[in-house]
Structure 1
Amino acid sequence: MKRLALGLVASGAFLAVGCASAYQGTYDKTYQQLESQADAERRKEEAEHAEAKKYAAVVYFATGSALIDEEGQREITWFVEKLRPYPKAVIDVQGFADSTGSEATNAALSMQRTQAVVAALVSQGIPPDQVRQAHYGANYQAATNTTPQGRRHNRRVELSVE
């Protein structure tokens, strides 16, 4: 009888270890599958992000103005359309001014221009939490301020993907 009892206990222990081992194997396999899927998703997002980063746009403004003209509207629309396949893209919007006017005026203008472009992006479906904005006044010139054409290039808002 003792032998039978010991045999049953040993069989039960063997069965328990076997079940735990089988469960651990199933768990490990499931974990590896989930980890593999997560890695594939991460690689896909990284590739999409790299693709989206190639798009950029520049909107130019008239002297002393933060109004977006037709050409600027077209540029923004083009940019938004290019980013539609990348709904998680974060957009950097950076505003600038030329050196015409005071430092305070240029700081205010670059901020107003940035806000105007952000409003245009949002009106075309870009979520506000995916837009980062900064404004620099007359700092960081793209061209010389000694010519009308150079000043025009400095009155701008640049759009890019982070």
Structure 2
Amino acid sequence: MSIQIGQRIPEVVLQYIDDRGIHKIDTPSLFGGRKCVLFAVPGAFTPTCSERHLPGFIAHAGEFRARGITLICMAVNDPFVMQAWGKAHQVPPDILLLADGNADLTRALGMEMDASGYGMGLRSRRFALYAEDGVVKGLWVEAPGEFRVSSAEHVLSQLPA
């Protein structure tokens, strides 16, 4: 069963790379005491993720920032792939690209999907969630093959002003 509104984000450790190297971060530290939008993509460098999903959040980053919301992008990829994807798309430093390499958070959220038919193995479903202090306040999960409700524009329209 997938995570529901009102539930706390499960405790797992994720990775990211910045100018100082590889870092591990646990979800209580990541989500605690702040408002965040976590959007997950099936894979870095995949078509919809690279052409529409990530670019939408980049384009609207200032609107999220103005509302005091931290943006976090996650994929079941390694931190090196996420770093390269960020550089390729000129992701601003205030959008955190997290690697869920073993799908620990993806599974804990109940958002895993089997993409082995495409040679991609276990991946995350495409979704976005809004959390305050680690508690899910909004959740938008895409139907297979769709990209509508987890877009930056839709998520912004659903958030409190």
* Structure 2 length-normalised TM: 0.37
The answer to which structure has the higher helix fraction is 1
Q: Which has the larger radius of gyration?
A: 1
* Structure 1 length-normalised TM: 0.37
The answer to which structure has the higher strand fraction is 2
